[in-house]
Amino acid sequence: MSLIFLKNIYKIYNVGGEEVRALDGVDLTIKENEYLAIMGPSGSGKSTLMNMVGCLDTPSSGDYEFEGEKVHNMDDNQLASIRNRKIGFVFQTFNLLPKATAQHNVEIPLVYANIKREKRLKMASNALASVGLDDRMHHKPNELSGGQRQRVAIARALVNNPSLILADEPTGNLDSKSGQEIMNIFDTLHQNGNTIVLVTHEDSIASHANRTIRLFDGKIIEDVAK
Amino acid sequence: MFSLFIENIKISVSSVLSNMTRSLLTALGVVIGILAVTLMGTLISGLDQSFEKSMEFLGKDVLYIRKFQWFGNKDWWEIRNRPNIQTKHSETIRNKSQYAKYVAPVAEWWTSVKKGDENVSGVRVSGTTEEFAMITIAEVDKGRFFSRAENRSGARVAIIGKDISDALFQDKNSLGERIRIGSYNFRVIGEMEKQGKFLGMFSLDNQVIIPIGAHQRLFSRRGWTGINVKVDEADLDNATEELTALMRQVRRLRPSDEDNFAINRQDPFKEQYAMIKIAIGGTGLFITILSLVVGGIGIANIMFVSVKERTKEIGTRKALGATSKMILFQFLMESVIICLFGGLIGLGLAYGGSLIINSFFPSEMPFGLALAALGLSMIVGIVSGLAPSYKAAKLNPIDALRYE
């Protein structure tokens, strides 16, 4: 069964009276437990596609279904809800709250899901344990290394058992050793049955995935499965 | 939704606390506003209490025939030449007035009172008749008031006020003891209860009361004189008219002459007091509103800065599933908490201030006003936080995430 189904997606901006087609008729289907890398030069539309897949944005035209839910005509609240329940985000810059502990950072999606405190604390600890940070739960981001911060962010993405993990250049701000650790975690997550979409411009990172698509000028120009 | 509410409060509190200096400076306007409104309330409540007590001393149902109008607008040289009130006219009034229930002439003079080496100077020495006891609200605490017979015979007996008994006798028994009033010996036969200060100006307890006969013989015609008349409260106006007519009669005034005496009562005090109260209240309210408005603008400003600084956080929170409403609520809560924080500091300072006020005259911080003040700071928080919070809520998550 397809997890994500994009058909004939257009995203058109008007910049200074000029029409910019960030996405120009994209069709994309992602199945459960796929490990997909989205590649492309800057301006190719890969960020727009990622925002679209991540339900941060809606298309100008076209159909988008996420597990059968029609995303393309959802309002902001519905989008927030689907992001909260079904998508885990991992950002290049980690985007942790600097004043909150690792555990509290991981709790945030659960707070918005309105889950009770005791349950939240337990789920957050479990998620942190699954990325090997059980001993760093009460540390704040500035007391953690870059790799550890990104692992906290992965724990945060995992904590609500999402259908899709969406990672935007997850190793972009890390040294190669930490980057390798992070990619190992993604590999393990994939082996455990998670669906992962990576946005990257590095071939070495994309090589972890078992399917790679390339974008150029808002169109998918290549779609290779390993 | 409740756990989100609690969580939001925690987020806001920690955010306010982690920017302690900034929050404090921001809240300053609210601090001053709340301080002003509560101190004003405390002051007014204290003034009310002390005013009520002073008015009790004057009595609602007592008319005071005096040379001067208490709150007159006549020029002083006109009234200076008025004749003094003659105490003997109290007899005429008692005999002729329908409304007078009790009539007491009063003559006052200030002198020192001694007992052995102890000396109190500037004591008010009131000479009056036994009917004074029926007119004044103050009670004889120990001993008794002088009798009609003692008054008639001009006996040298005195009822002393609390200040005098404290200074001359401390805890010892004063009754039957001899004291010197001016240069004359008197026997203490009673002590008045403690009355406190009149409008916070002078002590009502710094006095001795003696029979008017003795007063006039010993202290001659110095000091001032007057006649106090107790009537039924309902008859105040009629009694004022009647007394005016009687006084004009005994003074043989022609119809064209103006009154050369005054019939006073407590009402004009109340009018004056109401005006003072409006002045204090108005000033306090003006300061309050001004500082709350300025403070509110400051808070709105700092909240805009905070929203700007935390654009990325807002983007992240939205990506993680926060709805616009939740973001709105988070920032609104933060603004409210800054204001409540300022309100609490203001209340704390006001409490300290009320203790200082309390050392001048009895007062208390009105609890209802304190609550209202906190409510007011919350409203300031909501109003000034609304625009920044709305801006935060409306941020597009994609732009916010990209913000550096």
Residue B330 contacts A, CB cutoff 8 Å: no
DSSP structure class, residue B321: T
- Closest-CA residue in chain A for B19? A99
Domain boundary among B203, B231, B265: B265
Q: What is the pLDDT of residue A171?
A: 93
The closest alpha carbon to B195, from B48, B358, B53, B359, belongs to B53
Q: Are A186 and A11 in contact (CB under 8 A)?
A: no
Whether B2 has a pLDDT exceeding 90, the answer reads: no
In this prediction, residues B169-195 reach a mean pLDDT of 90
Residue B14 contacts A, CB cutoff 8 Å: yes
Say yes or no: B34 and B77 in one domain.
no
Considering CB atoms only, which of B18, B324, B401 is closest to A76? B324
Whether B76 has a pLDDT exceeding 80, the answer reads: no
Q: What is the pLDDT of residue B51?
A: 85
Whether B1 has a pLDDT exceeding 70, the answer reads: no
Say yes or no: B74 and B205 in one domain.
yes
- For residue range B4-35, what is the model confidence (pLDDT) as tens digits? 778 778 877 887 888 888 888 888 989 999 99
Cβ within 8 Å, pair B313-A97: yes
- Residues from chain A that touch B1, judged by Cβ atoms under 8 A, are 114
Per the structure, the count of domains in chain B is 2
- For residue range B315-331, what is the model confidence (pLDDT) as tens digits? 999 999 999 999 999 89
Residue ranges with strand state E in A48-140: 61-66, 69-70, 87-90
Residue ranges with strand state E in chain A: 2-15, 18-31, 35-39, 61-66, 69-70, 87-90, 164-168, 195-199, 211-216, 219-225
Cβ within 8 Å, pair A80-B322: yes
Sequence letter at residue B101:
K
Residue percentage of chain B with pLDDT more than 90: 38
- For residue range A16-63, what is the model confidence (pLDDT) as tens digits? 889 899 999 999 999 999 999 999 998 899 999 999 999 999 999 999
Whether B221 has a pLDDT exceeding 70, the answer reads: no
The domains found in chain A, sorted by start residue, are: 34-56+75-225 (3.40.50.300)
- Residues from chain A that touch B16, judged by Cβ atoms under 8 A, are none
Residue A125 binned pLDDT confidence (cut-offs 50, 70, 90): very high
Domain boundary among B214, B233, B265: B265
In this prediction, residues B132-153 reach a mean pLDDT of 89
Say yes or no: B30 and B68 in one domain.
no
Considering CB atoms only, which of A93, A97, A116 is closest to B3? A116
Domain boundary among B205, B234, B265: B265
Residues of A with CB under 8 A from a CB of B: 51, 54, 56-57, 76-77, 80-81, 83-85, 89, 91, 93, 95, 97, 99-100, 108-109, 111-117, 156
Residue percentage of chain A with pLDDT more than 90: 85
Say yes or no: B257 and B221 in one domain.
yes
Those residues with Cβ within 8 angstroms of residue B381's Cβ, 6 or more apart along the chain or in another chain: B299, B332, B335, B336, B337, B338, B339, B340
- Residues from chain A that touch B323, judged by Cβ atoms under 8 A, are 76-77, 80-81, 112
Say yes or no: B213 and B74 in one domain.
yes
Q: Mean pLDDT check: name the lowest of A21-35, A162-176, B77-91.
A: B77-91
CB neighbours (10 Å) of residue B32? 21
Q: How far apart are the first and last CA of chain A?
A: 20
- For residue range B107-125, what is the model confidence (pLDDT) as tens digits? 988 899 998 888 898 899 9
Say yes or no: B180 and B226 in one domain.
yes
> Mean pLDDT, chain B, as a whole number?
88
Best mutation target, B311, B316, B326, to test chain A (most A CBs within 10 A) = B316
Full residue range of the structural domain in which residue B315 is found = 2-54+271-402
The dihedrals phi and psi of B209, each to the nearest 5 degrees, come to -115, 130
Q: What is the pLDDT of residue B118?
A: 86
Cβ within 8 Å, pair B321-A77: no
Say yes or no: B199 and B284 in one domain.
no
Q: What is the pLDDT of residue A1?
A: 67
Say yes or no: B43 and B111 in one domain.
no
Q: What is the pLDDT of residue B8?
A: 77
In this prediction, residues B294-321 reach a mean pLDDT of 93
In this prediction, residues B186-208 reach a mean pLDDT of 87
Cβ within 8 Å, pair B319-A108: no
Say yes or no: B306 and B369 in one domain.
yes
Cβ within 8 Å, pair B318-A80: yes
Burial B94-115 (b: 16+ CB within 10 A, else e): beebebbbbbbbbbbbebebbb
Q: What is the pLDDT of residue B195?
A: 85
- Closest-CA residue in chain B for A117? B3
Whether A82 has a pLDDT exceeding 90, the answer reads: yes
Say yes or no: B70 and B10 in one domain.
no
> Mean pLDDT, chain A, as a whole number?
93
